[in-house]
Amino acid sequence: MDGGGGSRENVTAGGGYTEELHVLAVDDSLVDRKLVERLLKNSSCKVTTAENGLRALEFLGLGDEKRTSLEDNVSKVNLIITDYCMPGMTGYELLKKIKESSILKEIPVVIMSSENIPTRINKCLEEGAQMFMLKPLKQSDVVKLRCNLMNCRS
Amino acid sequence: MDSVVQLQRQLVDYRAQLFNEGFLDEQFNQLQQLQDESNPDFVVEVVTLFFEDSERLLDELAKALEQQSVDYRKIDAHVHQLKGSSSSIGAQRVQKVCIGFRNFCEERNIEGCQKCLQQVKHEYSLVKTKLETLFKLEQKILAAGGSIPLPM
């Protein structure tokens, strides 16, 4: 994955600064990873992708191997977006692990799923998910996502 | 040799036909909109991933249905993946067959599953051919110095 620049600020046309969001996107589907990455990059996000929950946790510094760069990765990630249905660790289980972690629990987590199941959605929201999004993702979903995050950040 | 304008018209018509016949849906337009000068091959790249992924899944499905003791959960998992990726690129007819396929898995209906596998292979092969035709047409336009018309 390309790393992008070290700077976290973008200058807008009006001369103001917008913060660049660093998003960690987790999905076992290669097609969906590519799609979500493009959608997010088109919205000026820096994107890191992971193919499963374990890899995601490793990147965030919660893997079995504690890395010295753990603080680097953690402080950079502003949002985690994960698929619900994944083999091994589901998106829900990943959400729980993140919310149980004192260092990670403040990071908003968005769950995506191709299935619109109210009990599933409620379960995720109750566990602390910021938002639930229905697949397939579209550009308008990413716009909604940014608005949702902005409202919560100020 | 067709002129750029003629080729562009062919493309627009062909694309409209694919939509009318249900091969592609609105999600495919979403992919096109994500393509730009800095990512000129995005659609081909995603669709190529879809082809590779689907072929792998179809192989796995065929193997799974040949087993003495059929593992319906495994089959359902594969079909779920195929349904997801086809939905993400807008391959509507493939996606629709997958929905029926999952129902047969739930019912543990071997004949239903086998029929669906044949159907999904057929639909996949059709949409693959059509997308390849579409991409060839796009290449012709670019080679002739034209630009690809955006979806309406």
Q: Using CA atoms, how far apart are residues A81 and A63, in angstroms rounded to an integer?
A: 18
Nearest residue in B to A36, CA atom: B88
Residue B96's CATH number: 1.20.120.160
Examine residue B65 and state whether it is found in any structural domain, yes or no: yes
Contacts of B49 in chain A (CB under 8 A): 30-31, 34
Q: Using CA atoms, how far apart are residues A131 and A110, in angstroms rounded to an integer?
A: 5
Chain A from 58 to 97: CB within 8 A of any B CB? 85, 87
pLDDT of B149 over the 80 cut: yes
Question: How many Å lie between the alpha carbon of A16 and the closest alpha carbon of chain B?
Answer: 24
Q: What is the pLDDT of residues B92-140, one digit of tens each?
A: 999 999 999 999 999 999 999 999 999 999 999 999 999 999 999 999 9
Note whether B84 contacts A: Cβ–Cβ < 8 A.
yes
Pairing of strands A17-19, A9-11: antiparallel
Q: What is the DSSP secondary-structure string of chain A?
A: -----S--EEE-TTS-EEEPPEEEEE-S-HHHHHHHHHHHHHTT-EEEEESSHHHHHHHHT-SSS--TTHHHHHHH--EEEEES--SSS-HHHHHHHHHH-TTTTTS-EEEEESS--HHHHHHHHHTT-SEEEESSP-HHHHHHHHHHHHHHH-
Q: What is the pLDDT of residue A1?
A: 46
Q: What is the pLDDT of residue A16?
A: 44
Question: How many Å lie between the alpha carbon of A69 and the closest alpha carbon of chain B?
Answer: 31
Examine residue B132 and state whether it is found in any structural domain, yes or no: yes
Q: What is the pLDDT of residue A42?
A: 93
Examine residue B124 and state whether it is found in any structural domain, yes or no: yes
Q: What is the pLDDT of residue A153?
A: 58
Q: What is the pLDDT of residues B4-32, one digit of tens each?
A: 999 999 999 999 999 999 999 999 999 99
Examine residue B75 and state whether it is found in any structural domain, yes or no: yes
Query: Which neighbouring-strand residues pair with A111?
Result: A82, A132
Q: What is the pLDDT of residues B38-57, one digit of tens each?
A: 999 999 999 999 999 999 99
Core vs surface per residue A50-67: b (16+ CB within 10 A) or e: bebbbbbbbbbbbeeeee
Note whether A32 contacts B: Cβ–Cβ < 8 A.
yes
Of A28, A32, A42, the CB nearest to B88: A32
Question: Domain tally for chain B?
Answer: 1
Domain that holds residue B59: 1-144
Examine residue B152 and state whether it is found in any structural domain, yes or no: no
Residues of chain A with pLDDT under 70: 1-19, 64-75, 152-154
Flag if A38 and B49 touch (Cβ within 8 Å).
no
Query: Which neighbouring-strand residues pair with A26?
Result: A50, A82
Nearest residue in B to A83, CA atom: B84
Contacts of B50 in chain A (CB under 8 A): 31
Examine residue B25 and state whether it is found in any structural domain, yes or no: yes
Q: What is the pLDDT of residue A62?
A: 84
Q: What is the pLDDT of residues B87-98, one digit of tens each?
A: 999 999 999 999
Q: Using CA atoms, how far apart are residues A126 and A62, in angstroms rounded to an integer?
A: 22
Of B27, B34, B52, the CB nearest to A42: B34
Query: In this prediction, does ipTM exceed 0.95?
Result: no
Examine residue B151 and state whether it is found in any structural domain, yes or no: no
Q: What is the pLDDT of residue A8?
A: 46
Q: What is the pLDDT of residue B151?
A: 77
Note whether A138 contacts B: Cβ–Cβ < 8 A.
yes
Work out the average pLDDT over B59-75. Answer: 96
* Number of other residues whose CB lies within 10 A of the CB of residue A121: 18
pTM over 0.80: yes
Contacts of B34 in chain A (CB under 8 A): 35, 38-39, 42, 139
Q: What is the pLDDT of residue A142?
A: 94
Examine residue B150 and state whether it is found in any structural domain, yes or no: no
